[in-house]
Chain A
Protein backbone atom coordinates (compact mmCIF):
# COMPACT_ATOMS: atom_id res chain seq x y z
CA UNK A 1 0.00 0.00 0.00
CA UNK A 2 1.30 3.46 -0.88
CA UNK A 3 1.28 5.99 1.88
CA UNK A 4 -1.26 8.78 2.04
CA UNK A 5 -2.37 11.60 4.25
CA UNK A 6 -5.14 10.64 6.62
CA UNK A 7 -7.90 13.01 7.66
CA UNK A 8 -10.62 12.51 10.24
CA UNK A 9 -12.94 15.50 9.84
CA UNK A 10 -15.72 15.96 12.38
CA UNK A 11 -18.15 17.84 10.14
CA UNK A 12 -19.64 17.03 6.73
CA UNK A 13 -18.64 20.45 5.40
CA UNK A 14 -14.99 19.84 6.27
CA UNK A 15 -15.12 16.34 4.81
CA UNK A 16 -16.71 17.66 1.64
CA UNK A 17 -14.07 20.36 1.17
CA UNK A 18 -11.29 17.77 1.57
CA UNK A 19 -13.05 15.25 -0.70
CA UNK A 20 -13.52 17.88 -3.43
CA UNK A 21 -9.73 17.79 -4.01
CA UNK A 22 -8.28 15.41 -6.60
CA UNK A 23 -6.73 12.05 -5.68
CA UNK A 24 -8.83 11.59 -2.57
CA UNK A 25 -10.82 8.64 -1.29
CA UNK A 26 -13.54 8.48 1.34
CA UNK A 27 -13.18 5.86 4.04
CA UNK A 28 -16.45 4.49 5.37
CA UNK A 29 -16.00 0.84 6.41
CA UNK A 30 -12.85 0.38 4.31
CA UNK A 31 -13.63 -3.10 2.98
CA UNK A 32 -13.41 -1.93 -0.63
CA UNK A 33 -10.81 0.82 -0.50
CA UNK A 34 -8.27 -0.83 1.82
CA UNK A 35 -8.18 -3.85 -0.49
CA UNK A 36 -7.98 -1.53 -3.51
CA UNK A 37 -5.07 0.37 -1.99
CA UNK A 38 -3.23 -2.89 -1.23
CA UNK A 39 -3.69 -3.99 -4.84
CA UNK A 40 -2.52 -0.52 -5.96
CA UNK A 41 -5.68 -0.12 -8.01
CA UNK A 42 -6.27 2.83 -5.67
CA UNK A 43 -3.36 5.19 -4.93
CA UNK A 44 -4.91 8.22 -3.24
CA UNK A 45 -2.89 11.12 -1.89
CA UNK A 46 -5.46 11.59 0.87
CA UNK A 47 -7.92 9.33 2.63
CA UNK A 48 -10.79 11.07 4.39
CA UNK A 49 -12.50 9.06 7.11
CA UNK A 50 -16.20 9.60 7.76
CA UNK A 51 -16.01 7.71 11.05
CA UNK A 52 -15.73 10.78 13.32
CA UNK A 53 -18.65 12.70 11.80
CA UNK A 54 -21.69 12.51 14.08
CA UNK A 55 -25.14 11.69 12.73
CA UNK A 56 -24.20 9.45 9.82
CA UNK A 57 -24.84 6.11 11.51
CA UNK A 58 -27.96 4.50 12.87
CA UNK A 59 -31.31 3.24 11.62
CA UNK A 60 -34.44 5.09 12.76
CA UNK A 61 -38.12 4.51 12.09
CA UNK A 62 -40.27 7.64 11.79
CA UNK A 63 -43.87 7.99 12.95
CA UNK A 64 -45.19 7.71 9.37
CA UNK A 65 -43.55 4.29 8.95
CA UNK A 66 -40.67 5.53 6.84
CA UNK A 67 -37.19 4.38 7.81
CA UNK A 68 -33.98 6.37 7.70
CA UNK A 69 -30.78 4.37 7.26
CA UNK A 70 -27.58 6.30 7.92
CA UNK A 71 -24.92 5.90 5.23
CA UNK A 72 -22.46 4.78 7.92
CA UNK A 73 -24.83 2.10 9.24
CA UNK A 74 -22.98 -1.20 9.13
CA UNK A 75 -24.29 -3.78 6.69
CA UNK A 76 -24.62 -6.16 9.65
CA UNK A 77 -26.91 -3.63 11.39
CA UNK A 78 -29.10 -3.39 8.28
CA UNK A 79 -29.25 -7.19 8.13
CA UNK A 80 -30.28 -7.51 11.79
CA UNK A 81 -32.60 -4.47 12.10
CA UNK A 82 -36.02 -5.79 13.14
CA UNK A 83 -37.79 -2.94 11.33
CA UNK A 84 -35.90 -3.52 8.09
CA UNK A 85 -36.39 -7.29 8.34
CA UNK A 86 -40.14 -6.75 8.76
CA UNK A 87 -40.83 -3.88 6.37
CA UNK A 88 -38.02 -4.07 3.81
CA UNK A 89 -37.26 -7.78 3.88
CA UNK A 90 -35.51 -7.70 0.52
CA UNK A 91 -33.01 -5.14 1.83
CA UNK A 92 -32.27 -7.16 4.99
CA UNK A 93 -31.86 -10.29 2.86
CA UNK A 94 -29.51 -8.47 0.51
CA UNK A 95 -27.40 -7.15 3.38
CA UNK A 96 -27.10 -10.69 4.78
CA UNK A 97 -25.62 -11.84 1.44
CA UNK A 98 -22.55 -9.61 1.62
CA UNK A 99 -19.18 -11.21 2.39
CA UNK A 100 -18.83 -12.70 5.86
CA UNK A 101 -19.99 -11.55 9.30
CA UNK A 102 -16.49 -10.10 9.81
CA UNK A 103 -16.86 -8.02 6.64
CA UNK A 104 -20.46 -7.02 7.37
CA UNK A 105 -19.32 -5.72 10.78
CA UNK A 106 -17.02 -3.30 8.93
CA UNK A 107 -18.78 -2.52 5.64
CA UNK A 108 -21.37 0.26 5.48
CA UNK A 109 -24.49 0.50 3.34
CA UNK A 110 -23.28 3.90 2.11
CA UNK A 111 -20.02 2.37 0.92
CA UNK A 112 -21.81 -0.53 -0.75
CA UNK A 113 -23.89 1.96 -2.76
CA UNK A 114 -21.27 4.68 -3.38
CA UNK A 115 -18.87 2.03 -4.75
CA UNK A 116 -21.54 1.65 -7.47
CA UNK A 117 -20.90 -1.96 -8.34
CA UNK A 118 -23.79 -3.16 -10.52
CA UNK A 119 -23.66 -6.35 -8.40
CA UNK A 120 -23.97 -4.69 -4.96
CA UNK A 121 -26.20 -6.83 -2.75
CA UNK A 122 -28.04 -3.97 -1.01
CA UNK A 123 -28.93 -2.16 -4.22
CA UNK A 124 -31.86 -4.27 -5.45
CA UNK A 125 -33.51 -4.00 -2.02
CA UNK A 126 -33.07 -0.22 -2.04
CA UNK A 127 -34.52 -0.06 -5.57
CA UNK A 128 -37.70 -1.91 -4.58
CA UNK A 129 -37.93 0.21 -1.41
CA UNK A 130 -37.96 3.25 -3.71
CA UNK A 131 -35.22 4.75 -1.54
CA UNK A 132 -34.25 8.40 -1.63
CA UNK A 133 -30.53 9.05 -1.34
CA UNK A 134 -29.63 12.12 0.71
CA UNK A 135 -26.41 13.78 -0.40
CA UNK A 136 -24.45 16.55 1.30
CA UNK A 137 -21.61 18.79 0.24
CA UNK A 138 -20.03 22.02 1.46
CA UNK A 139 -22.55 23.80 -0.80
CA UNK A 140 -25.67 22.23 0.69
CA UNK A 141 -27.85 19.15 0.44
CA UNK A 142 -29.87 17.38 -2.21
CA UNK A 143 -31.71 14.13 -2.60
CA UNK A 144 -31.95 11.79 -5.60
CA UNK A 145 -34.02 8.65 -6.13
CA UNK A 146 -31.87 5.53 -5.95
CA UNK A 147 -32.73 4.61 -9.55
CA UNK A 148 -31.19 7.90 -10.73
CA UNK A 149 -27.97 7.57 -8.69
CA UNK A 150 -25.96 5.31 -10.97
CA UNK A 151 -24.55 6.26 -14.37
CA UNK A 152 -22.30 3.26 -15.10
CA UNK A 153 -20.13 0.62 -13.46
CA UNK A 154 -18.45 2.41 -10.54
CA UNK A 155 -20.03 5.69 -11.66
CA UNK A 156 -22.67 7.84 -9.98
CA UNK A 157 -24.18 11.32 -10.28
CA UNK A 158 -22.18 12.35 -7.19
CA UNK A 159 -20.10 15.45 -7.93
CA UNK A 160 -16.63 16.00 -6.41
CA UNK A 161 -17.09 16.70 -2.71
CA UNK A 162 -20.57 15.18 -2.52
CA UNK A 163 -21.12 12.57 0.19
CA UNK A 164 -24.06 10.20 0.69
CA UNK A 165 -25.47 10.80 4.18
CA UNK A 166 -28.52 8.55 4.40
CA UNK A 167 -31.13 6.49 2.63
CA UNK A 168 -34.76 7.31 3.28
CA UNK A 169 -37.17 4.44 2.73
CA UNK A 170 -40.79 5.59 2.36
CA UNK A 171 -43.61 3.70 4.05
CA UNK A 172 -43.17 0.18 2.71
CA UNK A 173 -45.00 -2.19 0.41
CA UNK A 174 -46.29 -5.24 2.24
CA UNK A 175 -44.09 -8.04 0.94
CA UNK A 176 -40.64 -8.24 -0.57
CA UNK A 177 -37.88 -10.73 -1.29
CA UNK A 178 -34.30 -10.79 -2.63
CA UNK A 179 -32.49 -13.67 -4.26
CA UNK A 180 -28.77 -13.65 -5.01
CA UNK A 181 -27.75 -16.09 -7.72
CA UNK A 182 -24.35 -17.40 -6.66
CA UNK A 183 -22.23 -20.52 -6.27
CA UNK A 184 -20.95 -20.29 -2.70
CA UNK A 185 -23.29 -19.87 0.26
CA UNK A 186 -21.19 -16.98 1.58
CA UNK A 187 -18.24 -14.86 0.39
CA UNK A 188 -19.37 -14.79 -3.22
CA UNK A 189 -20.27 -12.11 -5.74
CA UNK A 190 -23.71 -12.19 -7.32
CA UNK A 191 -24.06 -13.63 -10.82
CA UNK A 192 -27.23 -11.62 -10.66
CA UNK A 193 -29.43 -10.26 -7.88
CA UNK A 194 -33.20 -9.85 -8.08
CA UNK A 195 -35.54 -8.16 -5.62
CA UNK A 196 -39.30 -7.77 -5.80
CA UNK A 197 -41.79 -5.95 -3.62
CA UNK A 198 -45.58 -5.74 -3.89
CA UNK A 199 -48.64 -4.60 -2.03
CA UNK A 200 -51.94 -6.43 -2.37
CA UNK A 201 -55.39 -4.82 -2.51
CA UNK A 202 -57.98 -7.62 -2.25
CA UNK A 203 -55.58 -9.91 -4.07
CA UNK A 204 -54.78 -7.35 -6.75
CA UNK A 205 -51.14 -6.34 -7.04
CA UNK A 206 -50.31 -2.69 -6.53
CA UNK A 207 -46.94 -0.95 -6.27
CA UNK A 208 -45.04 -3.82 -7.84
CA UNK A 209 -41.34 -3.04 -7.94
CA UNK A 210 -38.59 -5.26 -9.33
CA UNK A 211 -34.91 -4.41 -8.91
CA UNK A 212 -32.18 -6.13 -10.90
CA UNK A 213 -28.46 -6.18 -10.07
CA UNK A 214 -25.55 -7.31 -12.26
CA UNK A 215 -27.63 -7.53 -15.43
CA UNK A 216 -26.83 -4.11 -16.93
CA UNK A 217 -24.14 -1.39 -16.59
CA UNK A 218 -26.12 -0.05 -13.63
CA UNK A 219 -28.68 -1.60 -11.28
CA UNK A 220 -32.10 -1.22 -12.92
CA UNK A 221 -35.82 -1.48 -12.31
CA UNK A 222 -37.79 -3.91 -14.49
CA UNK A 223 -40.54 -1.41 -15.26
CA UNK A 224 -42.20 -3.42 -18.08
CA UNK A 225 -42.63 -6.37 -15.75
CA UNK A 226 -43.89 -4.08 -12.97
CA UNK A 227 -46.52 -2.60 -15.32
CA UNK A 228 -47.73 -6.08 -16.28
CA UNK A 229 -48.20 -7.01 -12.61
CA UNK A 230 -49.85 -3.82 -11.35
CA UNK A 231 -53.65 -3.97 -11.28
CA UNK A 232 -53.83 -7.74 -11.70
CA UNK A 233 -54.12 -10.84 -9.59
CA UNK A 234 -51.10 -13.11 -9.77
CA UNK A 235 -51.61 -16.11 -12.06
CA UNK A 236 -48.99 -18.53 -13.40
CA UNK A 237 -49.45 -16.97 -16.84
CA UNK A 238 -48.92 -13.44 -15.53
CA UNK A 239 -45.88 -14.55 -13.55
CA UNK A 240 -44.38 -16.07 -16.70
CA UNK A 241 -45.05 -12.89 -18.67
CA UNK A 242 -43.43 -10.77 -15.94
CA UNK A 243 -40.34 -12.99 -15.90
CA UNK A 244 -39.97 -12.74 -19.67
CA UNK A 245 -40.48 -8.97 -19.60
CA UNK A 246 -37.82 -8.55 -16.90
CA UNK A 247 -35.36 -10.66 -18.90
CA UNK A 248 -36.11 -8.67 -22.05
CA UNK A 249 -35.33 -5.44 -20.20
CA UNK A 250 -31.92 -6.65 -19.01
CA UNK A 251 -28.69 -6.23 -20.96
CA UNK A 252 -26.20 -8.52 -19.21
CA UNK A 253 -22.63 -9.23 -20.24
CA UNK A 254 -20.62 -12.45 -20.30
CA UNK A 255 -17.68 -12.50 -17.91
CA UNK A 256 -15.51 -14.88 -15.91
CA UNK A 257 -18.40 -15.85 -13.68
CA UNK A 258 -21.10 -16.67 -16.21
CA UNK A 259 -22.49 -15.98 -19.66
CA UNK A 260 -24.94 -13.29 -20.70
CA UNK A 261 -27.35 -16.02 -21.83
CA UNK A 262 -27.30 -17.63 -18.38
CA UNK A 263 -27.85 -14.27 -16.71
CA UNK A 264 -30.85 -13.50 -18.96
CA UNK A 265 -32.38 -16.90 -18.29
CA UNK A 266 -31.91 -16.45 -14.54
CA UNK A 267 -33.49 -12.96 -14.56
CA UNK A 268 -36.62 -14.68 -15.86
CA UNK A 269 -36.45 -17.49 -13.28
CA UNK A 270 -35.59 -15.31 -10.28
CA UNK A 271 -38.12 -12.62 -11.16
CA UNK A 272 -40.82 -15.29 -11.04
CA UNK A 273 -39.50 -16.65 -7.72
CA UNK A 274 -39.07 -13.27 -6.00
CA UNK A 275 -42.45 -11.95 -7.17
CA UNK A 276 -44.18 -15.14 -6.02
CA UNK A 277 -42.53 -14.91 -2.58
CA UNK A 278 -43.24 -11.19 -2.28
CA UNK A 279 -46.94 -11.88 -3.01
CA UNK A 280 -46.96 -14.76 -0.52
CA UNK A 281 -45.49 -12.45 2.13
CA UNK A 282 -47.80 -9.50 1.36
Chain B
Protein backbone atom coordinates (compact mmCIF):
# COMPACT_ATOMS: atom_id res chain seq x y z
CA UNK B 1 0.00 0.00 0.00
CA UNK B 2 1.23 3.43 -0.88
CA UNK B 3 2.48 5.76 1.76
CA UNK B 4 0.78 9.13 1.87
CA UNK B 5 2.23 12.59 2.13
CA UNK B 6 1.16 14.45 5.27
CA UNK B 7 2.04 17.73 6.89
CA UNK B 8 1.90 17.65 10.67
CA UNK B 9 2.27 20.79 12.76
CA UNK B 10 3.60 19.54 16.06
CA UNK B 11 4.49 21.98 18.83
CA UNK B 12 4.86 24.71 16.19
CA UNK B 13 7.22 22.71 13.97
CA UNK B 14 6.11 21.51 10.55
CA UNK B 15 6.89 17.93 9.55
CA UNK B 16 6.44 16.78 5.95
CA UNK B 17 6.26 13.01 6.18
CA UNK B 18 5.44 9.94 4.14
CA UNK B 19 3.42 7.58 6.32
CA UNK B 20 1.39 4.40 5.94
CA UNK B 21 -2.35 5.02 6.39
CA UNK B 22 -2.44 2.43 9.20
CA UNK B 23 -0.05 4.39 11.42
CA UNK B 24 -1.83 6.01 14.33
CA UNK B 25 -1.04 9.59 15.25
CA UNK B 26 0.54 8.16 18.41
CA UNK B 27 2.89 5.96 16.35
CA UNK B 28 3.80 8.84 14.04
CA UNK B 29 4.59 11.13 16.96
CA UNK B 30 6.70 8.55 18.78
CA UNK B 31 8.33 6.48 16.05
CA UNK B 32 8.51 8.79 13.03
CA UNK B 33 9.04 12.19 14.66
CA UNK B 34 10.74 10.85 17.79
CA UNK B 35 8.61 12.62 20.38
CA UNK B 36 8.38 9.86 22.96
CA UNK B 37 6.85 11.93 25.75
CA UNK B 38 3.40 10.77 24.67
CA UNK B 39 2.89 7.26 26.02
CA UNK B 40 1.16 4.16 24.70
CA UNK B 41 -0.74 2.42 27.48
CA UNK B 42 -3.75 0.31 26.53
CA UNK B 43 -3.85 1.33 22.85
CA UNK B 44 -7.66 1.02 22.95
CA UNK B 45 -8.64 4.48 24.16
CA UNK B 46 -9.31 3.39 27.73
CA UNK B 47 -6.30 4.74 29.64
CA UNK B 48 -5.63 8.24 28.30
CA UNK B 49 -1.81 7.92 28.43
CA UNK B 50 -1.63 8.91 24.74
CA UNK B 51 -3.63 12.14 25.18
CA UNK B 52 -2.45 15.01 22.96
CA UNK B 53 -4.12 18.26 21.95
CA UNK B 54 -5.36 18.53 18.35
CA UNK B 55 -6.81 21.90 17.29
CA UNK B 56 -7.41 22.76 20.93
CA UNK B 57 -9.15 19.50 21.88
CA UNK B 58 -7.76 16.68 23.98
CA UNK B 59 -7.87 13.40 22.07
CA UNK B 60 -6.57 9.87 22.53
CA UNK B 61 -3.92 9.75 19.80
CA UNK B 62 -3.99 5.94 19.68
CA UNK B 63 -7.44 6.17 18.03
CA UNK B 64 -6.47 8.70 15.36
CA UNK B 65 -5.02 7.72 12.00
CA UNK B 66 -1.97 9.90 11.40
CA UNK B 67 -3.09 10.70 7.85
CA UNK B 68 -6.22 12.40 9.23
CA UNK B 69 -4.15 14.76 11.39
CA UNK B 70 -2.54 16.37 8.36
CA UNK B 71 -2.77 20.16 8.51
CA UNK B 72 -3.96 20.20 12.12
CA UNK B 73 -2.23 21.88 15.07
CA UNK B 74 -0.90 19.25 17.44
CA UNK B 75 0.54 19.88 20.88
CA UNK B 76 2.34 17.17 22.86
CA UNK B 77 3.83 17.25 26.34
CA UNK B 78 7.13 18.39 24.77
CA UNK B 79 5.43 21.54 23.49
CA UNK B 80 3.78 22.69 26.70
CA UNK B 81 6.61 24.63 28.30
CA UNK B 82 7.45 27.94 26.67
CA UNK B 83 10.90 29.59 26.82
CA UNK B 84 12.01 27.10 29.42
CA UNK B 85 9.08 28.00 31.66
CA UNK B 86 6.86 25.08 32.67
CA UNK B 87 3.11 25.37 32.20
CA UNK B 88 1.37 25.86 35.57
CA UNK B 89 -0.08 22.36 35.41
CA UNK B 90 3.38 20.85 34.86
CA UNK B 91 4.79 22.83 37.80
CA UNK B 92 1.82 21.81 39.97
CA UNK B 93 2.41 18.10 39.30
CA UNK B 94 6.02 18.57 40.49
CA UNK B 95 5.05 20.66 43.51
CA UNK B 96 2.39 18.25 44.78
CA UNK B 97 4.08 15.00 43.77
CA UNK B 98 1.25 14.23 41.36
CA UNK B 99 3.10 11.29 39.84
CA UNK B 100 4.98 8.18 40.86
CA UNK B 101 6.16 6.06 37.93
CA UNK B 102 5.22 8.93 35.60
CA UNK B 103 3.85 6.88 32.75
CA UNK B 104 0.35 8.37 32.89
CA UNK B 105 1.59 11.88 33.67
CA UNK B 106 1.89 13.32 30.12
CA UNK B 107 -1.67 12.19 29.38
CA UNK B 108 -3.00 13.64 32.62
CA UNK B 109 -1.18 16.91 32.04
CA UNK B 110 -2.42 17.33 28.47
CA UNK B 111 -6.01 16.47 29.42
CA UNK B 112 -5.83 18.84 32.42
CA UNK B 113 -4.33 21.63 30.32
CA UNK B 114 -7.41 21.74 28.09
CA UNK B 115 -9.76 21.56 31.08
CA UNK B 116 -7.96 24.57 32.59
CA UNK B 117 -8.12 26.46 29.28
CA UNK B 118 -11.86 25.80 29.03
CA UNK B 119 -12.89 26.47 32.62
CA UNK B 120 -10.50 26.70 35.57
CA UNK B 121 -13.50 27.18 37.88
CA UNK B 122 -14.55 23.54 37.82
CA UNK B 123 -15.14 21.92 41.21
CA UNK B 124 -12.95 19.07 42.40
CA UNK B 125 -15.78 16.68 41.56
CA UNK B 126 -16.06 18.12 38.05
CA UNK B 127 -12.30 17.82 37.46
CA UNK B 128 -12.41 14.26 38.77
CA UNK B 129 -15.22 13.37 36.38
CA UNK B 130 -13.64 15.18 33.42
CA UNK B 131 -10.38 13.25 33.97
CA UNK B 132 -12.22 9.92 34.02
CA UNK B 133 -10.56 8.94 30.74
CA UNK B 134 -7.10 8.93 32.32
CA UNK B 135 -5.96 6.01 34.43
CA UNK B 136 -3.15 6.00 37.01
CA UNK B 137 -2.03 2.79 38.64
CA UNK B 138 0.29 4.34 41.24
CA UNK B 139 -1.03 7.41 42.97
CA UNK B 140 -4.61 6.66 43.89
CA UNK B 141 -5.37 9.98 42.16
CA UNK B 142 -5.30 12.11 45.32
CA UNK B 143 -2.05 13.90 44.47
CA UNK B 144 -3.08 14.24 40.83
CA UNK B 145 -6.28 16.01 41.86
CA UNK B 146 -4.26 18.21 44.20
CA UNK B 147 -2.00 19.14 41.31
CA UNK B 148 -4.87 19.99 38.99
CA UNK B 149 -6.64 22.07 41.65
CA UNK B 150 -3.39 23.91 42.44
CA UNK B 151 -2.87 24.63 38.75
CA UNK B 152 -6.49 25.80 38.45
CA UNK B 153 -5.93 28.26 41.27
CA UNK B 154 -2.73 29.46 39.60
CA UNK B 155 -4.50 29.92 36.27
CA UNK B 156 -7.41 31.77 37.95
CA UNK B 157 -5.18 34.19 39.78
CA UNK B 158 -2.93 34.97 36.84
CA UNK B 159 -5.70 35.22 34.24
Contact = CB atoms under 8 A, between A and B. Distances in A.
A4 B24 CA distance: 13
A105 B21 contact: no
B51 interface: yes
A102 B45 contact: yes
Interface residues of A, number: 28
Contacts of B59: 102, 105-106
A2 B111 CA distance: 30
A82 interface: no
Specify which of B20, B59, B63 lies most central, judged by the most chain A CB atoms within 10 Å of its CB: B63
B56 to A, nearest CB: 9
A30 B60 contact: no
Interface string A29-52: 011001101100000000101010
Contacts, number: 81
B58 A30 contact: no
A188 B78 CA distance: 31
Contacts of B51: 102
A101 B59 CA distance: 8
A3 B21 contact: yes
Contacts of B43: 38
B4 interface: yes
B24 A34 contact: yes
Contacts of A106: 59-60, 63-64
B21 A47 contact: yes
A103 B63 contact: yes
Given A30-B64, A31-B45, A101 B58 contact: yes
A2 B21 CA distance: 10
Nearest to A107: B63
Interface string A180-195: 0000111100000000
Interface of A: 1-6, 27, 30-31, 34-35, 37-38, 47, 49, 51, 76, 99-103, 105-106, 184-187
- 10 A-B pairs with the lowest CB-CB distances in the bound complex, closest first: A100-B133, A186-B132, A6-B21, A3-B1, A105-B57, A1-B22, A102-B60, A34-B63, A102-B133, A3-B22
9 contacts: A5-B21, A30-B65, A34-B24, A34-B63, A49-B68, A100-B134, A101-B111, A106-B63, A185-B132
